[in-house]
Amino acid sequence: MPNQKTLSIIKPDAVKAGHANAINLMIENAGLKILKKKELNLTTEQAKEFYSIHSDKPFYNELCNFMTSGPIIVQMLEGENAIELYRKVMGATNPDDAEENTIRKKFATSIQENAVHGSDSEENALKELNFFF
C-alpha cells in the first residue's frame, strides 16, 4: 500500500460542538498522522470554489452557507493508504448509513452537517491540499 497524504476538514458543526479533539483521536488511533493543521473561516468565494464539483447539485448553496457558518479545522493527514483509510474512519456521507465507530456515526447530525470532509482520490487530495497548504 502506498504512503499517501489526504486533506481532512473538521466542519463547522463539529468544531462548534467541541468534537475536534475526539475526532483527531479517532484519526490517530486509525494509524494516520496529522502533519499540518490550521483553523480558519472559509469565505463564500472559497467555499464555492472548494465545492465547485457540486455546483449543479440542489444542495450546493446550502452547503456553501453551512461551510462558512463558523470556523473549520483543515488538516494534512499522512499514512499507508491514507485516502481510503480516512474515508473509512469518516463513515458514509449520511450518518444514518454510517457504520458503528465511524466519525460520522458518532458526530454527524445530518447528511449536510456531517462533521468531516475527506478527499476521495489522489488527484483530489493533491488539489485540495494545495488549496489550503
Interface residues with ligand ATP (CB under 6 A) are: 54, 59, 63, 93, 111-112, 114, 117-118, 120
Nearer to ligand ATP, 18 or 58 (CB): 58
Nearer to ligand ATP, 43 or 59 (CB): 59
DSSP state of 54: G
Nearer to ligand ATP, 55 or 101 (CB): 55
Name the active-site residue from 9, 108, 117, 128: 117
Residue 77 Cβ vs ligand ATP, minimum distance, rounded to whole Å = 13
Residue 20 Cβ vs ligand ATP, minimum distance, rounded to whole Å = 16
DSSP codes of every residue in 90-117: H--SSGGGPPTTSHHHHH--SSSS-SEE
Torsional class of 69: left (φ above 0), alpha (ψ -120 to 50), beta (otherwise): alpha
Residue 80 Cβ vs ligand ATP, minimum distance, rounded to whole Å = 20
Between the alpha carbon of residue 92 and those of residues 24, 105, 133, the distances in Å are 18, 8, 26
Residue 90 Cβ vs ligand ATP, minimum distance, rounded to whole Å = 7
Query: In this structure, what are the phi and psi dihedrals at residue 75, rounded to the nearest 5 degrees?
Result: -140, 145
| Nearest by Cα to 24 from 40, 39, 46 | 39
Annotated active-site residue 117? The verdict is: yes
Nearer to ligand ATP, 72 or 79 (CB): 72
Which positions are annotated as active-site residues? 117
